[in-house]
Chain A
Amino acid sequence: MATTVLETSTTPVPETANKPPRKAGMTEKTRVRLFLAVLLGPTLFIVLAVVAYPFFYNVVLSLSNMNIYHIRDWELIGPQQYVSVVMEPLFWTIFGKTILWTAVNVFFHVSLGVMLAVLLHQAFVKGKPAWRILLILPWALPQYITALTWRGMFNYEYGAVNLVLTKYMNLPAVEWLTSPFEAFCAAILTNIWLGFPFMMVIALGGLQSIPSALYEAADVDGASAWSKFWNITLPMLKPVMIPAITLGTVWTFNNVNVIWLVSNGGEPADQTHILVSYVYEAAFFMYRFGWAAALSMVIFLILFLFTQVLLKRTGATD
């Protein structure tokens, strides 16, 4: 009996004995693949439908002569629209303005955002949650409401900005919306207001993850506040800020809402356009669908190259 028991207990148990019964003809590998396919299928379908299809359709349009005169009978004409885009003098002017727009905005978004985050991170600041909510408000409000509110505030005769300038600062009123340079500045100011909270939130998150021991060691070494910021805070923020700056750059470069609403569609005289708002104008006001598609592909290439170079140079994704 004992022998029997011993024999029973030592009999090797098959590995699959505790696993659910396997479906006939399906290996483990196949099951895993099937499971992954079920998980990825809907996502893949959605990505193909809302990203890939419009993208490739846009590529096709950019090689076509589609415009108001050929909206139904358009045909492929090769790279003519691309040639027309780069030969258009206005393209280069607007490209320059777009770079300026992006650089100025991102610079102020990041510098203001980091500065406010560092300030909010200090122990002596009272009522931090309230400050955080207050500073995030510009970002939390719908963009178009903020943009239209700022447009109202920039009005020459009745806008709050000019009232402050003339009544309280004894400065002359500025033609914010009717002069090209001032109108562009007005749009930039609005976008800075809208954009700094995002960078502040990201920087605040990054600051939480910096070990306090580093600052304590720096204090022991007698480091100044600036030295600690430059040698500890900034390098430690880099991994979170570089992707945020990349995103911020792409968003700002492609931000049609603010420039369109503040300048009322590029006014005065199409002088406040950036590339993406000019695409909108070309497509839906000038009905140059093929040309607008080609310009949008050029924008895509510019941003794609920029992103690749920035991420590679900074090693942010390593």
Chain B
Amino acid sequence: MRLAALLCLAALLAGCGADPYEGKTRVRIWHTKDSAERANLERVVAEYNAQHTDRVVEVLWRETEDLRNLFIIASVGGKGPELVYGASDNVSLFAMTETVRPLGDLFSDEFFEQFTEDGVVSWEGDTLMVADQLGAYLTMVVNQDLMPNPPASLDSLIVWGQDFTEDTNGDGRPDRYAITWNYTEPFFFVPFLTAFGGWVMDDDGRPTLDTEATVEAIQFILDLRDKYQIIPNEADYNISEMLFKDNRAAAIINGPWAFAGYGEAGVNYDLVSIPPIEPGARWPAPMVSPRGYSVNANVSDEDLPIVIEVLEYLVSEEMQRIQVDLDVIPTLRRVMESPQVQDNPRLRSALLQVQRGRAMPIAPAMRQVWDGMRGPYQLVMSGDVTAEEGARMMQEQVEKRIADTFL
């Protein structure tokens, strides 16, 4: 018995010593793809691994902030995944910290020319990311069973919403709302800011938040909640998702990462552009950003050919066509011009929203812009400061954070 136990232990220890990657190149990918896209990537990678004996691709999902922070720290320390996937606003930070490899010399011009203008992301002259989708933008998703005729303006949404929002069980609180979105995050504030003519920074990268447009946009959202009462009193990302999926909100403002989840939840949804404040007014312009892959600066020359092959596969036509079925806007011209996209009403709506959007600045200061806006925005929504004070605080906070980061 004792001998058997010893033999088992020896076998176990011998097993621990074996290298599961012997003779194979390991390609690790850290990514931020959510729900259906995440499941799709994992399935595709499993199939890819089954077809290749000389390499192992491993994917690891990370939350957006964690991915950026951990990748920078790991890569500066000489480690980290071979490929990193995320929104294009990461690129400038990755470039500044020299944690990703310029791609210009790794791929041919013909390769880059297959992509739309947004599909290849550069910063200060270096190509640093190849995108597989125009994946970071916001649009209005409507539940067609609750809102069969999407409003042409936010003013008409208010009128319709005041009838729709009601307390059905008599507990003193509304049980369904006209629209919802995550109003703790400034990224979701941008469509309203742009609807009033504002923007987050000027061409020189200086914040432009203490403006009349910011005040008007904040006040408009406050009125939707407090005066017209057509949005929930408190709504972060999860609450908004729950309300929409439970048919308790007729519309939601969200991005493509969430669309497939609405279908899975049984919501009869459609995509429409976020309407202007009143007919004929300026269209709200959500920030638009491609999402794609960058190569870790620490990838050895020996592993590089296989890492490049994996990247090429992940942004290939085959992959992008699979993703189109998940309502993802592709970046390859051939796929974009195909009937699969052009004849898809949802994608056409999404493309229209993207055209009405505005490219997210690929500036390192965007980090400070988001962080500096977030706090005052939340204070305004909690009623602790006025819209005017909120706009002033946003400007001060962003300027302070930019200045602080240099020490």
Contacts and interface: CB of A to CB of B under 8 A. Distances in A.
Interface of A: 65, 67-69, 71-72, 80-81, 84, 155-158, 166-167, 175, 177-180, 264, 267-271, 284-288, 290-291
Given A71-B72, A180-B384, A267 B378 contact: yes
Contact of A180 (B76, B239, B382): B382
Contacts of A80: 407
Contacts of A69: 96, 405-406
Nearest to A67: B405
A65 B234 CA distance: 40
A297 to B, nearest CB: 16
Nearest to A265: B65
A230 B97 CA distance: 61
Given A157-B239, A179-B382, A269 B375 contact: yes
Contacts of A288: 404-405, 407
A177 B234 CA distance: 9
A268 B404 contact: no
B97 A68 contact: yes
Chain A binding site: helix, strand, loop or mixed by DSSP? loop
B407 A269 contact: no
B379 A157 contact: no
B127 to A, nearest CB: 21
Given A71-B76, A178-B381, A269-B374, A157 B173 contact: yes
A301 B304 CA distance: 47
A84 B236 CA distance: 34
Interface of B: 65, 69, 72, 76, 93, 96-98, 171-173, 184, 232-234, 236, 239, 242, 364, 367-368, 371, 374-376, 378-379, 381-384, 401, 404-407
A178 B96 contact: no
Nearest to A175: B382
B390 to A, nearest CB: 10
Contacts of A166: 172
Contacts of A178: 234, 378, 381-382
A261 to B, nearest CB: 13
Contacts of B379: 180, 268-269, 271
A72 B98 CA distance: 9
Contacts of B242: 158
Given A67-B405, A180-B382, A290-B407, A157 B233 contact: yes
Contacts of B384: 179-180, 268-269
Nearest to A183: B382
B24 to A, nearest CB: 31
Nearest to A180: B384
A178 B65 CA distance: 21
A154 B145 CA distance: 31
A155 B237 CA distance: 13
B382 A65 contact: no
Contacts of A67: 405-407
Given A158-B239, A178-B382, A286 B407 contact: no
Given A65-B407, A72-B98, A286-B401, A269 B239 contact: no
Contacts of B232: 157
Nearest to A178: B382
15 contacts: A65-B407, A67-B405, A67-B406, A81-B407, A84-B407, A157-B232, A175-B382, A179-B384, A268-B378, A269-B374, A269-B384, A284-B65, A285-B367, A286-B401, A290-B407
